[in-house]
Amino acid sequence: MKITQAFTFEAAHRLPHVPDTHRCFRMHGHSYRVELTLEGPVDPATGFVVDFFDVEAAFGPLLQQLDHHCLNEVEGLENPTAEHIAAWIWSRVKPSLPLVALVRVFETPMSWAEYGG
């Protein structure tokens, strides 16, 4: 069984390793969407793979580090591409959510990165 919980946050960033003529070299912001997909058996007693409240509790501290911040200033996100953000989230959420199978980070509704470990 797979379950997915989505979260949103607002943040600014710039991409320091693109040419200075690239529009993402300049500071700008996104309304990000993060989806955490967990995969595992359904517990017969609870009926859950993982309780969504537990997913929310595990991701909450990370969300506080990201929401309304400049991502370049977050330790480990000095080059905050969608790919790096997805891997950053994975490495920090996996210890408390071992069934996480996929982290999806949307920069826009039409552009996203997926990381599965």
Per-residue buried b or exposed e for 50-80, using 16+ beta carbons within 10 Å of the residue's own CB: beeeebeebbeebeebbeebebbebeebebb
80 inside domain: yes
Residue 50 sits in a domain of what CATH number? 3.30.479.10
45 inside domain: yes
For the question of residue 69 being annotated catalytic, the response is no
10 inside domain: yes
Cα gap 59→62, rounded to integer Å? 5
For the question of residue 68 being annotated catalytic, the response is yes
Per-residue buried b or exposed e for 105-114, using 16+ beta carbons within 10 Å of the residue's own CB: bbbeeeebbe
- Mean pLDDT, to the nearest integer, of 11-18? 96
At residue 47, the pLDDT reads 98
Q: Could you read off the pLDDT of 15-52 as tens digits, one per residue?
A: 999 999 999 999 999 999 999 999 999 999 999 999 99
- Mean pLDDT, to the nearest integer, of 64-90? 98
**Catalytic choice (10, 22, 56, 68):** 68
At residue 55, the pLDDT reads 98
Task: Name the helix (H) or strand (E) containing 36.
Answer: strand 28-39
At residue 81, the pLDDT reads 98
**Catalytic choice (24, 35, 69, 70):** 24
**Catalytic choice (13, 30, 84, 107):** 107
For the question of residue 83 being annotated catalytic, the response is no
Question: What residues are paired with 5 via a beta bridge?
Answer: 36
33 inside domain: no
34 inside domain: no
Per-residue tokens: 41: 């058996």
Among 5, 8, 34, 36, CA closest to 100? 36
Average pLDDT, the chain: 97
pLDDT band at 99 (very low <50, low <70, confident <90, very high): very high
Domain membership of residue 21 as a residue range:
2-28+39-115
Per-residue tokens: 40: 């595992």
55 inside domain: yes
Cα gap 107→15, rounded to integer Å? 13
How many domains does the chain fold into? Answer: 1
